[in-house]
Structure 1
Amino acid sequence: MNSFLKHALPRFARLNPSVEITVSPRPRKHPIIRGTYINGREKVICVKNLQKEQILEKAHLLRDASGEKLRRVTKPVQSINESVRGIWSPYHGAVHTI
Structure 2
Amino acid sequence: MASNASHFVGAGKNGLARYVRQLKRLTLQFCSQGGSSRGLREYIDGEITRFARNTPQVAVYVRERRRRHPRLIGEFLNGNSRVVSVKNFTSSEVAKHVKTLTNMSGAKPAKLNKRWHTDNPTIQGNWTPFMHKKHLQKPSLQSRKTNNF
State the TM-score, normalized to the length of structure 1.
Answer: 0.71
**Which structure has the larger Rg over C-alpha atoms?**
2
- What residue identity is the alignment partner of 1:66? S
Structure 1 CA distance for aligned equivalents of residues 72 and 50 of structure 2 = 16
Matching residue of 1:10:
49
Matches within 5 A, 1:1-98: 1-72=40-111
- Percent sequence identity is 29
User: Where has structure 1 moved over 4 Å in runs of 4 or more?
Assistant: 72-75
Q: Quick one: which amino acid aligns to residue 60 of structure 1?
A: K
Q: Give 3-state SS (helix, strand or coil) of 2:110's partner.
A: coil
Q: Deviations over 1:27-62 (max 9, x none)?
A: 111100100011110000001111111101100111
More strand per residue: 2
Letter paired with 2:85:
C
Scaled by the length of structure 2, the TM-score of the pair is 0.48
Counterpart secondary structure, 2:102: helix
Q: Counterpart in 1 of 2:30?
A: none
Structure 2 segments unaligned to the other structure (5+ residues): 1-39, 120-149
Q: State the aligned residue count.
A: 76
Gapped runs of 5+ residues in structure 1?
76-81, 83-98
Task: Tell me the C-alpha RMSD between the 2 structures.
Answer: 1.6
Query: How far is the alpha carbon of 1:3 from its aligned partner?
Result: 0.8
